[in-house]
Amino acid sequence: MPEQDLYEKIVEIAKRRGFFWPSFELYGGMSGFYTFGDLGTKLMSNIKAWWRDQFVRRQGFLEISEPIITPSRVFEASGHLTHFKEYLVECSRCGRRFRADNIIEEETGQELGEALSAEEMSRIIKEKGVKCPDCGGEFKRPVGFMEMFQTSIGATGKEIGYGRPEAAQGMFINFRLGFDHARERLPFALAQMGKVLRNEISPRKGIIRLREFTIMELELFFDPEEPECTRLGEVSDEPLMLLTEEMRRSGAKEPLEISAGEALEKGLIKTPWQAYFMALSKRFVTQLGVPPEGQRFKALFPEERAHYSAQTYDHEVLLARWGWTEVSGHAYRTDYDLKAHADASGVDMTVLTARGTRVLPHVVEPSFGLERLTYVAIEYAYREVNKRTVLSFPREIAPTSLVVLPLVTRDGLPEKALEVYRLLLDEGFTVDYDDSGSIGRRYARADEAGTLIDVTIDYDTLKDETVTLRDRDTWKQVRQEIRLLPELLRRYLRNQANFQDLGKELSK
């Protein structure tokens, strides 16, 4: 049997430990839909909280929550009904359908690099001999396919709606109220996180490409006549790995390392706020466990960009099976959306500036896919130590901080362990309790779940009210009094203390 690759190992652990698994397996499954178990839900919740802290709370931005179902007139105004389409190809023998650009790249190993017409893709399919991967049949001519889920609103069925494919439009149509809530000052931002729906043609990359997923997005509105970013100085020295449009067209494979500030000065990034969010995005993804050398920003060609974008950089992370994979998009949307909704609704979207002039704000958008970030965090946390699997999540996102373990299930140890467990719960920690199997097996189980610290209750605990703390990553152990645990553990989880600061180290 061939050795499993890293992706297969992660998928196996994810199902066994309750991170994620394919949905609807009871009825044969349905591609593009995944269920997240207890650990996966906690991990996603922690990543969401960390994103909200970094991109909303610390920035002083505003957050809203808009309905998922949206009337068709909103997407008619925004241009989605015209532009939110991809080409699909159908096998003439078995009838399977695939997204045309994806099947070409997968079967030839060639990155297309730009959006192609149906005729161009037909030519490549013929020249490269691309056949159906399931039966080897010939493909029919590519045809356009709308990737938004359509529904009807109300009992009559006359009002057509769509599942939102992004959260952005909710922030554009609420721009006026947002501006009022921001005390009528530019710049300001509206943020939103929640479910979006995309009727992907043939999702085939697990939780990397889903039909229903969670987006974390914000729209930064700024005065195009005064586009300065007051926070840029905080990140201007942050090095970014860029593949610009010019570099891609010339066939360059190695990105250019350049600071965010210098990239802005040289015009490689069009707006100060876009440079700021790209640097912030790099820091955020690094904090999730991805080293700088595993990240890059790839500029999209005009043909690849969304219809509203004047410049887009995809923030990509290098994955073991999937190669360079987008985890966030950074688009300069200009005034396209506000102008479109103003024209369609008849509502004036211009605002009065401190200069006494009226402007239609421009927009920069960083947009993140939560499920992709969740997979990225798991892959980069994965380690194998002495034939054991350890998920070394950063402290900020580990799904479980602590697990309480009685050494044995007799002699009053379980009762004492439950007492400590309840104490830690009452103190607000994310803590588990495990008394199933040998202590070694339970340590291994906690390591595989990514739990930061094991709290072991033994016979000495009954004598002196101390416990053993075991570190997930080093397997070192320290001894500490129960009464001191809450404050020490809080400092540890805030990165104000290291593991060795938690008690007296025990010799092996």
pLDDT category at 71 given cuts 50, 70, 90 is: very high
CA separation for the pair 486, 489 (Å, rounded):
5
Measuring CA to CA, which residue among 417, 462, 409, 467 is closest to residue 438?
409
User: Has residue 321 got a pLDDT over 60?
Assistant: yes
Measured distance CA(189)–CA(94) in Å, rounded: 49
CB 142 within 8 A of CB 89: yes
417-474 per-position pLDDT tens digit: 999 999 999 999 999 999 999 999 999 999 999 999 999 999 999 999 999 999 999 9
- Residue 340, pLDDT > 90, answer yes
Contact 396, 46 (CB under 8 A): yes
Alpha helices, DSSP H, located in 288-431: 336-345, 370-381, 413-426
Task: Report d(CA 170, CA 254) in Å as an integer.
Answer: 38
Domains along the sequence of the chain with CATH: 6-69+169-379 (3.30.930.10), 85-146 (3.30.40.230), 400-505 (3.40.50.800)
Distance CA 55, CA 44 (A): 16
Q: What is the pLDDT of residue 485?
A: 97
Say whether 152 sits in a helix, a strand or coil.
strand
Question: Is 50 exceeded by the pLDDT of residue 1?
Answer: no
Contacts of 132 (CB under 8 A, 6+ apart): 91, 93, 94, 96, 98, 138, 139
> The tokens 């009838």 sit on which residue?
95
135-174 pLDDT tens trace: 999 999 998 888 999 999 999 988 999 999 999 999 999 9
Taking residue 29's Cβ as centre, other Cβ atoms within 10 Å add up to: 11
What letters, b where the CB count within 10 A reaches 16 and e where it falls short, cover 127-139?
A: eeebbbeeeebeb
pLDDT tens readout for residues 99-113: 888 888 888 877 765
Q: How far is CA 452 from CA 173, 377, 503, in A?
A: 43, 15, 15
Q: Which helix (H) or strand (E) holds 217?
A: strand 212-222
List, in order, residues 6 or more apart from 255 with CB less than 8 Å away.
241, 242, 243, 247, 296, 297
Q: What angle do CA 143, 149, 154 make, to 5 degrees?
A: 135
Q: How far apart are CA 434 and CA 421, in angstroms?
A: 10
Count of beta carbons in the 10 Å neighbourhood of residue 157: 9
pLDDT at 116 over 80: no
* Radius of gyration over every alpha carbon of the chain, rounded to an integer in angstroms: 26
330/118: higher pLDDT? 330
Q: State residue 4's pLDDT score.
A: 81
Report the alpha-carbon distance of residue 172 to residue 291 in Å, rounded: 34
Nearest CA to 176 out of 221, 138, 137 is that of: 221
Neighbours of 462 (CB within 10 A): 13
Contacts of residue 129, Cβ cutoff 8 Å, sequence gap at least 6: none
Question: What is the pLDDT averaged over residues 307-321?
Answer: 96
User: Residue 63 and residue 55: Cα distance in Å, rounded?
Assistant: 10
What's the average model confidence in pLDDT over 61-90? 93
pLDDT in tens, 175-225: 999 999 999 999 999 999 999 999 988 888 899 999 999 999 999 999 999
Residue 75 token pair: 């997407």
Per-residue model confidence as pLDDT tens digits over 342-352: 999 999 999 99
What are the tens digits of pLDDT across the range 234-290? 999 999 999 999 999 999 999 999 999 999 999 999 999 999 999 999 999 999 999
Omega prior to 187 cis, within 30 of 0: yes
**Phi/psi at 208 (nearest 5 deg)?**
-75, -35
For the record, the structure tokens of 471 come out as 């570190």
Residue 344 CA to its chain's centroid (Å): 33
What tens digit of pLDDT does each residue of 6-16 get?
999 999 999 99
pLDDT of res. 106? 83
Strand ranges (DSSP E) for 356-497? 358-359, 362-369, 382-385, 388-391, 402-406, 431-433, 453-457, 466-471, 477-481
Does this model's pTM top 0.85? My answer is: yes
Identify the CA nearest to 10 among candidates 396, 446, 291, 375.
Answer: 375
Tell me what pLDDT residue 2 has: 60
Nearest Cα neighbor of 10 from 380, 293, 292, 294 is 380
Please give the average per-residue pLDDT across 27-56, as a whole number.
97
Instruction: State mean pLDDT over 305-325.
Output: 95
In angstroms, the Cα distances linking 87 to 119, 139, 178, 204, 504 are 11, 13, 37, 16, 63
Mean pLDDT of 73-94: 91
- Check if the beta carbon of residue 370 is closer than 8 Å to that of residue 47: yes
Say how far apart CA 33 and CA 16 lie, in whole Å.
18
Q: How confident is the model at residue 114 (pLDDT cuts 50, 70, 90)?
A: low
**C-alpha–C-alpha distance, residues 508 and 258, integer Å:** 47
Please state, for a pLDDT cut of 70, what percent of the chain lies above it: 98
In angstroms, the CA 140 to CA 89 distance is: 6
Phi and psi, residue 334, nearest 5°:
50, -140
